[in-house]
Amino acid sequence: QKEVEQNSGPLSVPEGAIASLNCTYSDRVSQSFFWYRQYSGKSPELIMSIYSNGDKEDGRFTAQLNKASQYVSLLIRDSQPSDSATYLCAVFTGGGNKLTFGTGTQLKVEL
């Protein structure tokens, strides 16, 4: 089992719709979770971080964390073509210093 798993996609949504990106992780003691956005040919940039169960909202983005289910998600409301990118879920794992990334979900927002 991979430490951090994401569906590779592509996930296609129409402009203005809600995009839902999901991530599961295997290390039960993990407490810090991050969503990064990566445009093609560019380096990752942080979108959201979440540390407590529940929802955390920032503009059009909402991160959701359920530690009991080992599940973290990212919702993007009113999706725009500029949101088209690969979204990477990242989790501090193993009790150490390693930030483990999923392979990313490619999101395509269509006009």
Q: Using CB under 8 A, list all residues that contact other proteins.
A: 4, 29-32, 34, 42-46, 49, 51, 88, 90, 92-93, 95-104
- Per-residue 3-state assignment (H helix, E strand, C coil) for 72-97: EEEEECCCCHHHCEEEEEEEEECCCC
Residue 58 β-bridge partners: 61
Q: How many CA atoms lie within 13 A of 104 on its CB side?
A: 15
Report how far apart the first and last C-alpha atoms of the chain are (Å, whole number): 37
